[in-house]
Amino acid sequence: MIFFKYFGYVWLLIFALPLFLLGAYTLLGLFISFESIQYFMRPSFINVMLHSITLSALVALLSLFLGLGVGLGFYTLKTKLFKLLYILLLMISFVLQPIILLSTFQGIDLFLHRDAFLQSLCIFVMHLTPLSGLAFIYIFSTLNSLSLQSALAIAPLKYSIQYIIFPQLKPYIGSVFMLLFILVFIDQAVPSILGYRTYTEDLLAQMTLMENMKHIALAALPSYFLVGILIFLWSRVKKHLHLQTYIATITNTKLQFPWYWLGASMLLFGVLYLVWIIISLSMETFTIAYDSYLEENLDVIGTSIGFSFSTAFVTLGIALMMQHILEKYASRFLHISIFIMLLFYLFIPHALLSLLLLDIYQWLGYFSVFMDYVVFFMGYIFILLPTALFLLTMLHILEKEDVFLDFFPISVFHKWRKIVFPQMYLKWLLILFILMVFSLNELSVSILLIPPGFETMIVKIYNLLHYGDKPSIAFLSLVQLCFMICFFTLIGWISQRVSL
């Protein structure tokens, strides 16, 4: 399929464009005012950098550990219904925005009077453990189930973890940790609400002083440094990886762990948590007239959900094509380049990326309402694409496909339609779901690129938070939660035909 090949390459170029532009601006900025670099060497900046690294590392570590437990819990459940319910409940904290989780938890006295660091830690762990858990559920499905189960049947728990589970998980842990670390590192909303100063918040404050892109682009300097460190660490870890272990037993894994209490207790906790969240949010909405609220907010709900679905869908499609091109045609050099670009995208503050896109829009020189929407759509794709590629790469979904594809002498289009899609669609739907959540919760693009007259739920929620209109916030959060639960149930219903 020549079309797919070239389309994939075109996207690789589009993907690289803002980074080239950023690099050029940074160099120009350094050339014009080299003394700006001193800002990043000040003790106060190093201090907030350490704040962010500490918080991100601890959240990643805790979420990783808890996610491992959540992943194990899933495989202790026996019936498909319980497994579906388990994943559904798991997703609640991930679907709700961290600021909504925060306002819900602030009603609890024990939480309210804790230190800002501890509160931020709790909220982030709550929000990201589901993602880590979901990753581990997938990862377990790629492990050698036979050796695991036979060993688990005879060895004590401690030895099972030390000698059987951990060695098999080792190659994946770095990827999950890195993703969790970056997601916390670039998020400034919750810590800044709580008064815990972070790197991103400090950088944004510094950006307010700068009046042109050459100076604003200097804000990306720490990203170069951090990406450099991560690439170095990754290259060290990579030596110890056994890539063959990724190629898997795939969809029909019948993995089962014997600790039934784990899954059962987590399921119970999940049910109680869902009930508590729904009650907390509903209590806030008692004073409102649902029909008038729905009528008032129908537009924003419809457009936001529709928009997040379309952006997630298109992003997934592009990510699959890019991944396919990378696996089939690209050189090792291109692989490494894409990986580095991907890390950059994950580390750059979204506000900076949005400003770069606005700059490219100015260069294009063709302005219309339609183009406003195109740029807005592209903004979301640029934000979501690294995550989509990261998830696809982490799970090595396409590597598995290629094993099959190579055996069939038919066109790529037919292979995808007849072989790949039926096997992979459930996993793609789950990635689509994750991307939708990220899309719904993206704030910077929503403000800096939103077309005039268009409204998103995230901007509305933030504005209502400012006004203190808790009933409306709770109502919108409930709607978002219910929609995502319905979407997830639909995935579950579809999955009735395949084994989990």
Partner 1 sequence: MINIRYISMFIFVLLILSCSQNKEKRIIIYTSVDQVYAAKIFKDFEHKTGIKVLAVYDTEASKAIGLEKRILAEKAHPRADIFWNSEPIRTVRLAKQGLFQAYSDIKLPMYKDTLYYASDKTWFGIGERKRVIIVNTNLVLPQDYPTQLNDIWHEKFKAKVAMSSPYIGTAATHFTALYHRYGATVFQALLATMKKAKTKYLAGNSVVKESVGIGKYAIGLVDSDDAIAGIVAGLPLKMFYYDQEDKGSFSIFGTVAMLKSAQNTTEAKQFLHYLLTQETEQKLIDIGAVQFSVLKHATLSSPKGWSINPEVLWHDLNISYTFMKAAL
> Which stretches of the chain bind partner 1, using CB under 8 A?
3, 42, 44, 106, 112-113, 116, 189, 192-195, 197, 201, 204-205, 207-209, 211-213, 216, 351, 355, 358-359, 362, 365, 367-372, 443-444, 447-448, 450-453, 455, 459-460, 462-470
Nearer to partner 1, 359 or 402 (CB): 359
Nearer to partner 1, 409 or 453 (CB): 453
What minimum distance in Å lies between the beta carbon of 123 and partner 1?
14
Nearer to partner 1, 353 or 478 (CB): 353
CB crowding 31-44: b at 16 or more within 10 Å, else e:
eeeeebeebbeeee
Nearer to partner 1, 395 or 443 (CB): 443
Q: How far apart are CA 168 and CA 161, in angstroms?
A: 10
Contact predicate 352/396, CB 8 Å: no
DSSP one-letter string for 417-453: IIIIHHHHHHHHHHHHHHHHHHHHT--HHHHHTPPTT
What minimum distance in Å lies between the beta carbon of 358 and partner 1?
4
**How are the residues of the chain apportioned to helix, strand and coil, as percentages rounded to the nearest 5?**
85, 0, 15
Nearer to partner 1, 285 or 444 (CB): 444
Nearer to partner 1, 106 or 144 (CB): 106
What minimum distance in Å lies between the beta carbon of 381 and partner 1?
16
What minimum distance in Å lies between the beta carbon of 133 and partner 1?
28
Q: How far apart are CA 349 and CA 216, in angstroms?
A: 11
CA within 13 Å, CB half, 223: 25
What minimum distance in Å lies between the beta carbon of 294 and partner 1?
17
What minimum distance in Å lies between the beta carbon of 409 and partner 1?
21
Nearer to partner 1, 62 or 320 (CB): 320
Nearer to partner 1, 268 or 371 (CB): 371
Among 87, 70, 126, smallest CA distance to 265 is for 70
What minimum distance in Å lies between the beta carbon of 367 and partner 1?
5
Nearer to partner 1, 402 or 469 (CB): 469
Provide the H-helix boundaries in 142-258. 145-154, 157-159, 166-185, 189-194, 199-209, 213-216, 221-238
What minimum distance in Å lies between the beta carbon of 322 and partner 1?
18
Q: How far apart are CA 349 and CA 499, in angstroms?
A: 40
Nearer to partner 1, 399 or 469 (CB): 469
Nearer to partner 1, 42 or 238 (CB): 42
Nearer to partner 1, 372 or 402 (CB): 372
Token pair of 449 as six digits: 């690129």
Q: Which helix (H) or strand (E) covers residue 108, if one does? A: none
What minimum distance in Å lies between the beta carbon of 173 and partner 1?
33
Q: What is the DSSP letter of 195?
A: T
Contact predicate 351/449, CB 8 Å: no
What minimum distance in Å lies between the beta carbon of 212 and partner 1?
7
What minimum distance in Å lies between the beta carbon of 6 and partner 1?
12
Neighbours of 438 (CB within 10 A): 20
Token pair of 15 as six digits: 């993907």
Q: How far apart are CA 20 and CA 24, in angstroms?
A: 6
Q: How far apart are CA 441 and CA 446, in angstroms?
A: 9
Residues with Cβ within 8 Å of residue 248, at least 6 apart in sequence? 141, 142, 143, 396, 400
Reduce the DSSP state of residue 494 to 3 states and report it: helix
Token pair of 416 as six digits: 């995808």
What minimum distance in Å lies between the beta carbon of 352 and partner 1?
8
Token pair of 188 as six digits: 């400034």
What minimum distance in Å lies between the beta carbon of 414 and partner 1?
13
Q: How far apart are CA 488 and CA 379, in angstroms?
A: 26
Nearer to partner 1, 248 or 458 (CB): 458
Neighbours of 412 (CB within 10 A): 17
What residue type is 385 in one-letter code? Answer: L
Among 60, 122, 487, smallest CA distance to 312 is for 487
